[in-house]
Structure 1
Amino acid sequence: MLSAILKAIGLSSRDERREFERYPVTSPLEVTVNGVAHKCIVDNVSAGGLRLEPAVDAEPGSELTIRHTESGLNLTGRLIGNDSKGSRINFNSAEAGAVVSVWVRMMHEQQSEEPGV
């Protein structure tokens, strides 16, 4: 079943630089690192991780918790790096990342289909 989910979310070929295909989304999340909560927006998501805006004020390698307050989603990850546009986060579990990637994309699609959005 996991292989079917991974295939559905679009794993990239081995010839490409990235292991997982990225999908553009816009969804609010809360990221907690070193006991400090940050309100962020997901810029894109993949089975391996996500990109957040604005950048999280923490050192690369920091462990963090990703939380979607409306649904209660909680997932752990690691800060890969920051730049002027935001933060790159890796999920600690590829299986959980695959589920979260599909879930965030579905939420984004539903919000995009709502009238007035």
Structure 2
Amino acid sequence: MSGNNQTRDVFDAIADPMRRELIRLLAEAEEVPLHELTSQFSMGRTAVSKHLTVQKEAGLALDRKVGRETRFRLNAYPLQEVQDWAAFYSKFWRVNMLRLQQLLEEEEE
């Protein structure tokens, strides 16, 4: 986990398809009220709120009260940890596929 006062691992926050969809919705808008997010899913407000809490604990979602409404926005910074992790394995596979290709070419000769 990186800085940001995170209490939950960012990988946990993106592990669930519902939470990944929430990230997509938040990324598409500057700020989204909870009731608009809830309307995008076939589950109740409480379930959506629980998923948003996981994302808030990972630093991915930020919220603010406007009157009686809670609005959410994306903080994409913690996703850099995921990008860095995936980049390492992308390089790993690129190198190993190149080695495999070289071995196959050597066997053909």
TM (normalized to structure 1)? 0.29
**Bigger fraction of residues in helix:** 2
**Bigger fraction of residues in strand:** 1
